[in-house]
Structure 1
Amino acid sequence: MKEKEKTTTGRRDFLKTSALAVSSFFIFPRHVLGKGFIPPSDKLNIAGVGVSGKGFSDVNNAYNNGANNIVALCDVDWNLAKEQFEKHPKAKRYKDFRQMLEKERKNIDAITVSTADHTHALVALAAMQLGKHVYVQKPLTHNIYEARLLTEAARKYKVVTQMGNQGASNPAQQQMIKWFNDGVIGDVHTVHVWTNRPVWPQGIPVPQPAGSPPDTLDWDLWLGPATKVGYTPAYHPFKWRGWWNFGTGALGDMGCHLIDPPFRVLGLGYPTEVEASVGSVFLKDWTPEYLPEGAPPSSHVQLKFPATSKNKTPITMTWSDGGLRAFRPEVIPADAELSEPDGSNGVFMVGTKGVINCGTYGVNPKVFLNNGQVINSNGESSNTNPSVPEWGHNLAWQEACKAGFNSAKHKALTSSFDYAGPLTETVLMGNLAIRSYNLRTPTADGKGFNYPGRKKLLWDGAKTRITNFEEANQFVKREYQNGWKLA
């Protein structure tokens, strides 16, 4: 061992050694403590990757008012990251997460990942391979292949994981599970999910480059594995969501929040088939624009799931976005207030005896029974059940990190990758159908186009493949560009 390695005793090892020396009351066999055991009273050393926007709250929640240490901050745009840098002046600053992991690997216990969708998997996998626990914003990944890979990696590297869909930790979800398990609404055969997203530009022509990026922004690092394009503020910040090169559209933004309740309550797994249609855009003449690079202004997706041990009936789930809303089932009176009163977002789980309705993050769930009875989550005539605060969802992850991979706290997490991975795959299956819908080939006479992807797509979840339209499988994963690899 080199002299430098001898003198750089790990903080965790020092604390473990000290605890054993000072008191026989705390002596445990090493196999009980386990490799990498972190005493619950000890602070986590946390790094943030993508620390502005949503990343600002993720890092702050992980900091937990000083309960943990923020030791490193990484962001490709130091202007946007400025506020976070000032909040944690002692944290080391980086633009490239790979350099951060290389230089700080001995100092970091866990990492929050709040970058644009197209780099989630790159950052998270690199951290997990080093044995670092990860908290990754929704959607977990940019494509289905990445979601499956991260799910398997979490098990392989035995790290604590959580996806940032905080509604998963809303206690109201447990109420909906109890209603369903108690047979209150019978077997569910239909689920409707809808959102008012996008609230950013979609269905528009591809933005043109707008000159050089600001000096504070490393544009090449921001692009990462995406197809190289010139800088424009029409992509960064935030408006990248509507472009397949970087984002996952309305489904990626809200699907992990809104599909989560029925996925959890009904015990769903991989869908078996998917079909989509999208809104058209007319910009110049009477011919709809062909805009395959970006998500459409609105979409309608149908997913089908087989019966499960919890639900004896196959389920048809429909997703609507872009201002398209599911119509209320007949059992819900015309003037009845929905869980999310303005109807912007919501869920209907339609069963043989009634309907469960909830809003974003599973808020304010209620049951409308076929006999006219309405049950609120507190059993009374009205109820407001706010979503669990984001810090609570993040806090559960922090406590599980301290307890370890095999701990009860880790098993109790509501969106570890064992759950978040399949949920994300379901969400991204909708995007696969949307993108397949827009595929086109010239007709034989060269005067028009065929759209072969506008059909029901059959999915083999175990093999992660569409079985009846090979061209659709190009959207299961992406080809990484600019020398980036996911390995």
Structure 2
Amino acid sequence: MKRRHFIKSAAAFSSITLLPSHVWSTVKKSTLRTAHIGVGGMGLADLGDISSHEMVKVVALCDVDSNNLAAASSLHPKAKTFSDYRVLFDKMAKKIDAVIISTPDHTHAPASLMAMEMNKPVYCQKPLTHHVLEARAVRKMAADKNLTTQMGIQIHSFKEYRSAVHLIQNGIIGKVHTVRAWSPKNWGYDGPIPTGSDPVPANLDWNLWLGTAPQREYKDGYYHPGNWRKVLDFGCGTLGDMGVHIFDTPYTALSLDVPATITTQCREPNGFGYPENNVVTYEFPGTEFTTDTLKWVWYDGPGAPTDHEELRLPNMESLPEQGSMFIGEKGRLLLPHWDFPKLIVDGKYEPVDYPDLEPANHYHQFVDACLGNDTCSAPFSYAARLTEAILLGVVANRFPNKTLHWNNGTQLFDESEANQYLTSSYRKF
């Protein structure tokens, strides 16, 4: 699909008359009326965190699973309920001020683009999009319409991770030449491709769950509610799930953009699921916080990471289950997932003077920004670049042991065979 056709197809979701962008870029009200698309699992958590803000009024709930919708509705019985987000937008366009999107990955961009086409601020769960060129489209629309946006990477606002950004940017280990990051989670699938079909549960609208994704028969246990991350058509594997969280702090701290090259070590593609184990090596252009180039190595799947001298800890300690390691000119900084960074110099831990940072609530930050009282720390202008970098690695696992060269200007790989995976056609549903 050509880029101009992608944008047209995204915009075509909406038949609603649009208001000028300046009217909705910041909601000048004392109450924020929110619509929530996807209210099961993480969506239910997002609903709770957004609605905990005293200025929020939940007015619309949408989910393709009636069980999820019933559970959310019991918490907000006055909110209107929908199974199709397009119907929600058609019926509630003038009654909502902001949209929260917590669906499977393949629906992030279609729903976000439709909401922003209506000039609505958007909070969208990570990864921001399912495809690279969707990230570019979402970023452009948010900028063109000057909308308040936030990606759902809650730990971006945690003190632990903000402390790491402060320390790196203040030169605690000098210029960084390598980052190694890992997660042993297994959002891959190396088993046989499922065949046949199973009856669709009465509580699930399978056509709406598929949305813009290719038509596929329902198979119990493979997609809804929990395993879609493993499947090429719907999720982005472990890299697209935990990678967003674990990449985020080093990406911010080092002021990175998108990589120049990507190489993946993994099994051969099977056309259905992501590999269960990946080692993805990126090379990024240098920044003021790095050497001339930055090497970034990502490990995922059972047993990750593989042993490496740059990952060995003092006193023969074990690595945290998930995390990242900055390797610089003057030492290393270990950043465990969900913990404060640790400084390692000459094989020993050294004390760290952590900055005194104000607490931040990622969800409330979005609400306050919509009301004109704050700014978002992970707007789509940032989130789309982070997502693009990660999704380039997701594409690369279809070409094991082959280095792909990304052209930031043309938005294409030099290796033309990889460009087909930068986007996909949208199914009519």
Q: How does the TM-score come out when normalised to structure 1?
A: 0.78
Kept after mapping to 2: 8 A contact 1:188/1:352: yes
Tell me by how many angstroms 1:378 deviates.
4.0
Which residue number corresponds to residue 448 of structure 1? Answer: none
Q: Does 1:428 align with 2:391?
A: yes
Tell me by how many angstroms 1:462 deviates.
2.0
In 2: Cα distance, 1:475 partner to 1:366 partner:
38
Which residue number corresponds to residue 458 of structure 1? Answer: 405
Letter of the 1:416 counterpart = P
Which residue number corresponds to residue 329 of structure 2? Answer: 352
Kept after mapping to 2: 8 A contact 1:187/1:313: no
Which residue number corresponds to residue 307 of structure 1? Answer: 286
Kept after mapping to 1: 8 A contact 2:260/2:406: yes
In 2: Cα distance, 1:182 partner to 1:371 partner:
21
- 1:69-468 to structure 2, matched below 5 A, reads 69-198=57-186, 202-233=189-220, 234-279=222-267, 291-323=270-302, 324-327=304-307, 329=309, 333-335=313-315, 337=317, 343-360=320-337, 363-370=339-346, 372-376=348-352, 378=354, 392-403=361-372, 409-410=374-375, 413-437=376-400, 454-467=401-414
Letter of the 1:267 counterpart = S
Number of residues paired by the alignment? 403
In 1: Cα distance, 2:205 partner to 2:126 partner:
24
Deviations along 1:100-130, one digit per CA (max 9) or x if unpaired, are: 0011000000011011100100001100111
3-state DSSP of counterpart to 2:333: strand
Tell me by how many angstroms 1:211 deviates.
2.6
Kept after mapping to 2: 8 A contact 1:274/1:433: yes
In 2: Cα distance, 1:322 partner to 1:117 partner:
20
In 1: Cα distance, 2:257 partner to 2:265 partner:
23
Letter of the 2:135 counterpart = A
In 2: Cα distance, 1:301 partner to 1:470 partner:
20
Moved more, 143-152 or 174-183: 174-183
Tell me by how many angstroms 1:472 deviates.
0.6
2:48 to 56, 60, 64: 60
Letter of the 2:379 counterpart = S
1:476 to 387, 404, 422: 422
Letter of the 2:295 counterpart = T
3-state DSSP of counterpart to 2:405: strand
In 2: Cα distance, 1:309 partner to 1:201 partner:
36
3-state DSSP of counterpart to 1:367: strand
In 2: Cα distance, 1:422 partner to 1:296 partner:
24
Tell me by how many angstroms 1:279 deviates.
4.2
Kept after mapping to 1: 8 A contact 2:179/2:295: yes
Moved more, 456-465 or 347-356: 456-465
Tell me by how many angstroms 1:337 deviates.
4.8
Which residue number corresponds to residue 30 of structure 1? Answer: none
In 1: Cα distance, 2:156 partner to 2:262 partner:
24
Q: Structure 1 unaligned segments of length 5 or more: list them.
A: 1-33, 281-289, 380-384, 438-453
Tell me by how many angstroms 1:329 deviates.
4.0
In 1: Cα distance, 2:123 partner to 2:310 partner:
41
Q: Structure 2 unaligned segments of length 5 or more: list them.
A: 1-21
In 1: Cα distance, 2:347 partner to 2:272 partner:
48
Letter of the 2:391 counterpart = L
Kept after mapping to 2: 8 A contact 1:192/1:319: yes
3-state DSSP of counterpart to 1:172: helix
3-state DSSP of counterpart to 2:315: coil
Bigger Cα Rg = 1
Letter of the 1:457 counterpart = L
Letter of the 2:66 counterpart = W
Kept after mapping to 1: 8 A contact 2:151/2:383: yes
In 1: Cα distance, 2:103 partner to 2:277 partner:
25
Kept after mapping to 2: 8 A contact 1:113/1:124: yes
Kept after mapping to 2: 8 A contact 1:109/1:133: yes
CA pair 463-301 structure 1, distance change in 2 beyond 3 A: same
In 1: Cα distance, 2:293 partner to 2:125 partner:
31
CA pair 466-38 structure 1, distance change in 2 beyond 3 A: closer
3-state DSSP of counterpart to 2:410: coil
In 1: Cα distance, 2:80 partner to 2:109 partner:
23
Deviations along 1:240-281, one digit per CA (max 9) or x if unpaired, are: 11000111110111111001111011111110000001147x
Kept after mapping to 2: 8 A contact 1:134/1:160: yes
Structure with the larger RCO, 1 or 2 (CA within 8 Å, 6+ apart): 2
Letter of the 1:175 counterpart = S
Deviations along 1:48-79, one digit per CA (max 9) or x if unpaired, are: 00011100011111111653111000101111
In 2: Cα distance, 1:195 partner to 1:91 partner:
38
In 1: Cα distance, 2:140 partner to 2:27 partner:
24
Deviations along 1:297-323, one digit per CA (max 9) or x if unpaired, are: 111100001111332431110011012
Moved more, 206-215 or 264-273: 206-215
In 2: Cα distance, 1:89 partner to 1:460 partner:
50
CA pair 433-156 structure 1, distance change in 2 beyond 3 A: same
